[in-house]
Amino acid sequence: MPTLQELIRRAPWREAVTWRDTWPHEYVLVRRDNQRPLLEAICKRLNTGEGVDGQFYGRSSTYLFIGEHEYWVMTPCAEMDLDSEVDYVINRARLYRDRRDFVVE
């Protein structure tokens, strides 16, 4: 079983054009990019309490800090149905400021 860091390294991250100038980040699509193991590993860590709650332009998310990046999912893990046709999104952004400075308005 690959480690979370190996799954992250192997994922085909692509630049997100939304928020490019204000919050540059990358993403993968779970179904299209065959990243279910990565999603499951991230959700496992979030479900054990490793995440940090934060806000981004009024939207609440739980963020996971690994290495030089923060990771988040658009749909809370508890609400996902991995057997459905939904293509969930995993996002990541480089850390460039204090982890506690999380409210962006």
pLDDT band at 104 (very low <50, low <70, confident <90, very high): very low
Question: What token pair was written down for 17?
Answer: 């054009």
Note whether 4 and 66 are within 8 A (CB). yes
- What number is the average pLDDT over the span 9-15? 97
Note whether 88 and 30 are within 8 A (CB). yes
Q: What is the pLDDT of residues 52-103, one digit of tens each?
A: 888 777 788 899 999 889 999 989 999 999 999 999 999 999 886 555 445 5
**pLDDT at residue 105 in the model:** 44
CA of residue 27 relative to chain centroid, distance: 8
Close Cβ partners of 80 (under 8 Å, ≥ 6 residues apart): 39, 43, 73, 86, 88
The per-residue DSSP string of 59-87 comes to EEEEEEEETTEEEEESS-GGG--TTSS--
Q: What is the pLDDT of residues 13-54, one digit of tens each?
A: 999 998 777 778 899 999 999 999 999 999 999 999 999 888
Rounded-to-integer distance, Cα 76 and Cα 99, Å? 20
| pTM for the structure as a whole | 0.85
